[in-house]
């Protein structure tokens, strides 16, 4: 079951009122959307965008009143709004990263805890998979994404080991990749603070889904489409994402477009982290359109 992260804080900053319209740019299993719908009746709507067709269809089946669902990427926000005649936009939420469903049920290799195909695509219509990167990208490119997107200090060692291993056989599963990593990473990797595969898996997922470029484009567009006094809330799960959001908000504030509502990012309480491990690295930033 997916537990929506920072739900009370999302409601506090989105501040949904009767008959207002909201966009859930990463609708997933609908956790945040459903909560917003409790506040913006009787006529307010939520436009939910989800790039993963399977997840989109699961939610669509539920036929939730006042929830308009679109299977698309939030980078196409402007077009999606136009096609659905959705205005004014009083608030937008982005909850980045994976849903519990991706880890538990998608069988696309999002987790290093299960032996699955190295896929990692949110949108399975795209051709680039994690296996394609691992088996065909040049060593330097592999090293670059593992270093830049995984913030992994052993990127060179890892990329070299992958190149050696793929000479012998195709690397198609998560456990094959884990075996390669295990052989070249220190036994006490980061003092066991995180699993030794965490950073490499993060890097692959970001590269496969063009996550950082998408966030940059999507959040900038979101600020543009917001109505006057509209609220934007973004929940990120690692420092690369958070830095992008922070800079976009700061820039927009300088340009007089936005007022930042969270001087420092909001983090979950220990209580929330205890109940929902996925929340442990979450950071929420919110702002209001001027
Ligand atoms: C953390 S989950 C959202 C969970 C949701 N807030 C809930 O409470 O159920 C993030 C979702 O964003 C989706 N996603 C990732 N990139 C996207 C994009 N470019 N456009 C739309 N959805 C995207 C993923 O497929 C995933 O389902």
Residue 95 CB-half CA count within 13 A = 28
Answer whether 2 contacts ligand 1 (Cβ < 6 A).
yes
Per-residue pLDDT of the chain (290 residues; tens, 9 = 90+): 678 999 999 999 999 999 999 999 999 999 999 999 999 999 999 999 999 999 999 999 999 999 999 999 999 999 999 999 999 999 999 999 899 999 999 999 999 999 999 999 999 999 999 999 999 999 999 999 999 999 999 999 999 999 999 999 999 999 999 999 999 999 999 999 999 999 999 999 999 999 999 999 999 999 999 999 999 999 999 999 999 999 999 999 999 999 999 999 999 999 999 999 889 999 999 999 99
| Choice from 6, 14, 27 to test ligand 1 binding pocket (greatest atom count within 8 A of CB) | 27
Q: Which residues pair with 49 in a beta bridge?
A: 70
| Any atom of ligand 1 within 6 Å of the Cβ of 150 | no
CA distance 235 to 214: 14
Determine if residue 165 is left, alpha or beta; phi over 0 gives left, psi from -120 to 50 gives alpha, anything else beta.
alpha
Residues 54, 119: Cα–Cα separation, whole Å: 15
Could you tell me how far CA 268 lies from the centroid of its own chain? 17
Residue 250 tokens, joined: 């700061």
């Amino acid at each position: 079951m997916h537990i929506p992260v920072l739900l009370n804080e999302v409601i506090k900053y989105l501040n949904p009122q009767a008959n207002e319209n909201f966009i859930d740019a990463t609708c997933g299993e609908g956790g945040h959307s459903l909560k917003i719908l409790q506040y913006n009746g009787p006529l307010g709507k939520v436009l939910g965008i989800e790039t993963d067709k399977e997840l989109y269809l699961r939610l669509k089946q539920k036929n939730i009143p006042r929830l308009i669902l679109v299977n698309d990427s939030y980078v196409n926000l402007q077009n999606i709004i136009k096609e659905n005649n959705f205005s004014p936009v009083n608030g937008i939420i982005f909850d980045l990263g994976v849903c519990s469903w991706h880890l538990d049920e998608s069988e696309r290799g999002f987790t290093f805890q299960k032996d699955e195909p190295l896929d990692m695509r949110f949108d399975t219509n795209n051709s680039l998979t994690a296996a394609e990167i691992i088996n065909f990208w040049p060593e330097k490119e592999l090293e670059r994404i593992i270093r830049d997107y995984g913030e992994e200090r052993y990127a060179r060692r890892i990329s070299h080991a992958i190149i050696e291993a793929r000479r012998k056989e195709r690397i198609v599963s998560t456990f094959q990749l884990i075996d390669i990593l295990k052989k070249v990473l220190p036994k006490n990797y980061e003092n066991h603070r995180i699993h030794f595969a965490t950073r490499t898996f993060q890097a692959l997922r970001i590269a496969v889904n063009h996550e950082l470029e998408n966030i940059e484009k999507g959040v900038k567009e979101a600020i543009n489409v917001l109505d006057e006094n509209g609220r934007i809330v973004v929940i990120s799960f690692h420092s690369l994402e958070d830095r992008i959001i922070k800079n976009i908000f700061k820039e927009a504030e300088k340009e007089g477009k936005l007022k930042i509502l969270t001087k420092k990012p909001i983090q979950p309480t220990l209580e929330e982290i205890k109940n929902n491990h996925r929340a442990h690295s979450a950071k929420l930033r919110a702002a209001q359109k001027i």
